[in-house]
Amino acid sequence: MLTPKMMLLRQSLVTSTDIVVLAGLAGKGRGACGLWSEKTDGLFPANDTGVESEADLEGEGEGEDGEPVVLSSDAISLGHFVQPYLVDYAAKAFNVWTLPEDTHRHPTEHWIGATPDAVAVERSPSTATHLRPSLSVAMAQRELAVVEAKVVGKHRFHLWGGWKETEWVLPEAVRVQCQWQMTAKRLRKAYVVALLGTHHRTMVVEHCDELEAELVELGRDFWGYVTRREMPPVDGTAEAWRMVRRAFPKVRRPAIVEASQEQAEVMRAIRHAQEETKLWDVECERLKQALTRTMGDEKGLETDGIRAAFTVTKEGVTPQFRVGPIKARTPRAKKGRAA
């Protein structure tokens, strides 16, 4: 739950969660328009990316098939409960001490801010490894890296490469989030610790000057719209519709007037797009029907990262397409029979 103090703070910053949205990595329905409403009108939570900052576990994420996955309150509570444990795990894995989470502003670009799960500091070699230092002692040590803890739900294992250590990858959204935290803290490293089921994964993310420059330019452009209270370009999301409707809440005049040349061009483009969409919808269904006729008695087909898994409904057999990495599946034994 966001407190009034947290809401005011978030309104004055572009956070690491925000930059994931602006970079287009936050999933369906989330974009700059909803974020702008959050900053200018305090409409929270307009764009909480949530699951991708998995330790926070707010809002919803996307499953392997790209469909939204809404998290339960149990999942949210679990994420908050496990985060301190994962921070301690990272401290032991990287042989560092950690400072508790806090919101940090960039020293010169005051609109840049981030709240990492912790900050790693150098461990004093004269202290026993099993002793936890006082906060004052830890704060006197040299800062090394930001720490980001992730609790990865089953619907998002595919984003991390799965179970095998050799296949593990860092999702691009997490890399962007860590880079923004490094930018806000002026640090050159980020320590990531993720929990996939009962499997722990750790990774060191190095600062990237090129990525930082791109993100800062992206954030500065967005922050200009906020400070001017000027609506950003619409992006086709539901949040963009809400933004537009709030700006124009009702029809002021009963008359319908002649469109300007620019408006007429947009109206014609909309009509053309609607007609094209209808044609493509029909073509898509035709192709599905043609494919279904060739399926035989197989469960499904796959090629080039595309899977057509066939399901039986009241209407008959229909293919459901999923685009993405294909994972090997072991057939399960039927109930009552040995595997």
Rounded to the nearest 5°, which phi and psi values hold at 164? Answer: -70, 135
For tokens 């959050």, name the residue: 38
- Same domain for 293 and 149: no
Q: SS3 helix, strand, coil % of the chain, rounded to 5?
A: 40, 20, 40
Q: Does some domain include residue 193?
A: yes
- Same domain for 170 and 294: no
- Same domain for 190 and 303: no
- Same domain for 175 and 102: yes
- Same domain for 196 and 295: no
Question: Distance (Å, rounded) from C-alpha 51 to C-alpha 58?
Answer: 6
- Same domain for 198 and 55: yes
Is 322 in a helix, a strand, or coil? strand
Q: Does some domain include residue 106?
A: yes
pLDDT value of residue 92: 92
Q: Does some domain include residue 31?
A: no
- Same domain for 59 and 180: yes
Residue 281 burial (C-beta neighbours within 10 Å; 0-12, 13-18, 19+): exposed
Residues 96 and 121 sit within 8 Å (Cβ to Cβ): yes
Q: What is the CATH number of the domain that holds 149?
A: 3.90.320
- Same domain for 189 and 118: yes
Closest to 299 measured CA to CA, from 287, 288, 312: 312
Domain boundary among 167, 187, 210: 210
Query: In 177-331, where do the E strands start and end?
Result: 189-196, 199-206, 300-303, 306-313, 316-323
Angle in degrees, CA 329, 335, 338, rounded to 5: 80
- Helix crossing, 172-185 with 209-228: angle to 10°? 80
For tokens 């057939």, name the residue: 331
Q: Does some domain include residue 99?
A: yes
Question: Distance (Å, rounded) from C-alpha 201 to C-alpha 149?
Answer: 10
- Same domain for 160 and 66: yes
Low-confidence ranges of the chain (pLDDT < 70): 1-10, 28, 42-76, 126-131, 162-166, 249-253, 312-319, 321-339
Q: Does some domain include residue 14?
A: no
- Give this prediction's pTM: 0.73
Task: Give the chain's domain count.
Answer: 2
Residues 117 and 147 sit within 8 Å (Cβ to Cβ): yes
Q: Does some domain include residue 239?
A: no
Domain assignment of residue 272, given as a range = 261-322
Closest to 100 measured CA to CA, from 83, 85, 86, 119: 119
Q: Distance between alpha carbon 109 and the CA centroid of its chain, in Å?
A: 24
Q: Which residues contact 318 (CB under 8 A, 6 or more apart)?
A: 288, 292, 310, 311
Q: Does some domain include residue 21?
A: no
Residues 168 and 73 sit within 8 Å (Cβ to Cβ): no
Q: Which residues contact 42 (CB under 8 A, 6 or more apart)?
A: 7, 11
pLDDT value of residue 317: 62
- Concatenated DSSP letters for 70-97? EPPHHHHHHHHHHHHHHHHHHHHHTT-E
Q: Does some domain include residue 3?
A: no
- Same domain for 202 and 54: yes
DSSP strand pairing (118-121 vs 143-152): antiparallel
For tokens 């963009």, name the residue: 240
Helices vs. strands in the chain: H and E counts, helices first: 9, 12
- Same domain for 101 and 184: yes
pLDDT value of residue 175: 96
Q: Which residues contact 239 (CB under 8 A, 6 or more apart)?
A: 29, 30, 31, 33, 34, 35, 37, 46, 47
- Same domain for 195 and 303: no
